[in-house]
Structure formats: C-alpha cells, structure tokens
C-alpha cells in the first residue's frame, strides 16, 4: 500500500525555514509583516483568516487584520489596498476570497502591488510564472510542488496529470509542473476519457471539489497522488472532511499519497508564510538602500 505523504511534517519543515528567515531579516531591522483583509461574515473565511494569523504569530511574522463589513464599497476596499501598497512596513497583502458579489474580485486582486501579492493571483505574477520568471506563486500549488519534490526529487520527464483548471489551483499547478520539467496534462469537466488519460500519469494532482471522484480506476500502479480537495460530507450520521481522491481505493495502487486532512492543507498556510518572507526580501532588495541627499 501507498506511503503516506505527511503534509503536517512537511509544513513544519517549511515553517522552520521561514522562522530562520524571519530571524535573519529582523537582524537587519526588518519586521516581516502580513496584512490580511477580510470582508463580510462568511464563517469559513473567518476560520481561514484566524488560522493564517495564528500561524504567522508562531513563526514571528507580524500580522495586521482588517475586517470590513459585507456592505463595504469597492472604493473603500480599494482605498485600503492603496494604503497598504504604500506602507513600507507592510510586505504581504492577502485579501481573503470570496468577496461579496457587488465587488469585482479581479479588480481588487489587480490593485494589489504585485510585489506584495502573497497569494500570487495578480496577472503580473500569473504571467511571470507562465514565462518562467521568479515571481510570487500561489500557495496551494507551490506547496503541492514541494511535497512532490520532497517525495520524488527531480521531477524531470515525469508525466503529471492535473485534474481541475481553476485559476487558484489547477492552472498554476500545471505551470509549476511544466517549470519543473514534467510533461503536463490538464483534465477538466469537459475532458473525454479523463480516467484513461489519468491512468498514464506518474503524478496525479486532484483539484476538483468532488468527494472521492478519483479512485484506483484512474491510477497507474505506483503513481504519486496529491489530493487538494477539501469536501465536507455526511457519512454514517456524522460530518467529515474527504478529498477528491478515494483514499482507501487509491492507496492500494499508488506508491505515495497525501491524506485529507493533513496533506496539502497545512502546506498552503506554510507557503503563505514563505511568500511573505520572499515578498519582504524582494521589497528590501529593490528599495534604494540610502539615497544620497546631495544628489536629490
Ligand atoms: P473549482 O471549483 O474552482 O475548480 C474545479 C475544477 O474541477 C474545474 O476546473 C472543473 O473543470 C474541474 N472538474 C469539475 N468536474 C470535473 C470532472 N468530473 N472531471 C474532471 N474535472 C472536473 O475548485 P478549486 O478552487 O480549484 O478547488 C478544488 C478543490 O480543492 C476544492 O475541494 C477546494 O476546497 C480544494 N482546495 C483546497 C485547498 C487547500 O489548501 N488544500 C486550497 C484551494 C482549494
């Protein structure tokens, strides 16, 4: 049966790296700071924001929380983002999605300074990833890539199948795997013979949002399976979280597999912290160190 890929342990390693980077920056007089913006009262969003702020505190990243009512205007939100963009003491800006319907989500994401865009959703970062430039990349797929590299080492030449083509997981995952020299196939709701295509994969990343859709029938023996899905279902009279992969069935055939929970989830937050550190370094490297008064 498949080896379990322990996302909690991997996340602890990433967070320890971040902790070291925080100490190094603080020695230079820089306090890495993440601003988290939460609009409205979606309960899941509140839980996500609380977890992000808690994790930041644990690794020594300062966090600033901005909670706005569901009826906030787009202009007010954009003004806040402008203020955070201009604030040299803020290194990362995260706007928790989804936003209320009356606000254009894309306009808000585009308003964030790309160098502070710790979610990696700004078009400049999306384009940069596609061109293979070093940019801030989305936390969930970046965390998945790290799990794969920790498990398999060099991914060159492997065939990776990504199931799902969302802007936040599927598409950036495909771009990252391509960057890591995989041959990449992206499957989606209109794909024909999806299971047969998936059976050709050395690596399967499932980001669909359908409980247990991918079972052993989708897998080649020995495939490595990363399950991004988080689905709440009712089973045997209780509520539980399951992935997009049928764990019991898949783990009989896969060589390694992430559990849900305890797989990709912890890595997502760990990479948010890592991105905040990368953003802080980026801004301080780019900032003019000392402007000579006589020349300005
Ligand atoms: P989404 O709904 O935006 O996208 C789902 C994708 O699945 C679509 O591109 C669609 O084409 C594809 N799809 C739907 N039915 C399909 C089918 N039958 N066969 C093949 N493809 C099909 O979802 P998302 O935001 O990418 O999230 C996917 C899952 O990952 C969700 O369960 C979500 O909760 C979870 N998620 C987890 C994390 C984490 O930190 N672990 C982060 C983000 C999302």
| Complex prediction ipTM | 0.98
Q: Tell me, in angstroms, the distance from the centre of ligand 1 to residue 173's CA.
A: 12
pLDDT exceeds cutoff 80 at 13 = yes
pLDDT exceeds cutoff 80 at 290 = no
Q: What share of the chain is helix, strand, coil (3-state, %, to 5)?
A: 45, 20, 40
pLDDT exceeds cutoff 80 at 293 = no
pLDDT at 48: 95
Pair (161, 108) in one structural domain: no
Whole-angstrom CA distances from 168 to 37, 122, 172, 190, 239 are 18, 11, 7, 19, 26
Q: Which helix (H) or strand (E) holds 275?
A: helix 264-286
Does residue 270 belong to any structural domain of this protein?
A: no
pLDDT at 61: 98
Which of the residues are catalytic? 52, 96, 119
Q: What is the CATH number of the domain that holds 144?
A: 3.40.50.720
Residue 77 CB–ligand 1 contact under 6 Å = no
Pair (108, 178) in one structural domain: no
Pair (155, 111) in one structural domain: no
pLDDT exceeds cutoff 70 at 218 = yes
pLDDT at 190: 98
pLDDT band at 285 (very low <50, low <70, confident <90, very high): confident
pLDDT exceeds cutoff 60 at 289 = no
Q: If you take atom 34 of ligand 1, which residue's CA is the nearest one? A: 230
Residue 181 CB–ligand 1 contact under 6 Å = no
pLDDT band at 200 (very low <50, low <70, confident <90, very high): very high
């Amino acid at each position: 049966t498949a080896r379990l890929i322990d996302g909690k342990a991997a996340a602890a390693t990433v967070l320890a790296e971040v902790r070291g980077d925080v100490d190094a920056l603080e020695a230079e007089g820089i306090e890495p700071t993440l601003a988290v913006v939460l609009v409205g009262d979606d309960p899941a969003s509140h839980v996500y924001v609380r977890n992000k702020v808690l994790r930041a505190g644990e690794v020594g990243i300062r966090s600033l929380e901005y909670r706005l009512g569901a009826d906030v205007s787009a202009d007010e939100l954009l003004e806040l983002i402008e203020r955070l963009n201009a604030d040299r003491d803020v290194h990362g800006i995260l706007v928790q999605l989804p936003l209320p319907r009356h606000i254009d989500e894309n306009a808000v994401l585009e308003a964030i300074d790309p160098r502070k865009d710790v979610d990696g959703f700004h078009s400049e970062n999306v384009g940069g990833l596609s061109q293979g430039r070093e940019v801030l990349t989305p936390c969930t797929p970046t965390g998945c890539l790290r799990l794969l590299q920790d498990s398999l080492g060099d991914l060159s030449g492997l065939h990776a199948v990504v199931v799902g083509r969302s802007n936040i997981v599927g598409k950036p995952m495909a771009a990252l795997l391509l960057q890591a020299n995989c041959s990449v196939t992206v499957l989606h709701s209109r794909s024909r013979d999806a299971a047969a295509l998936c059976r050709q994969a050395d690596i399967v990343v499932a980001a669909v949002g359908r409980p247990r859709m991918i079972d052993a029938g989708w897998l080649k023996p020995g495939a490595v399976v990363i399950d991004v899905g988080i689905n709440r279902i009712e089973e045997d009279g209780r509520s539980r979280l399951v992935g997009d992969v049928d764990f019991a069935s898949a783990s009989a055939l896969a060589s390694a597999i992430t559990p849900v929970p305890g797989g990709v989830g912890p890595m997502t937050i760990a990479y948010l912290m890592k991105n905040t550190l990368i953003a802080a370094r980026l801004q301080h490297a780019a900032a003019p160190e000392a402007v000579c008064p006589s020349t300005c």
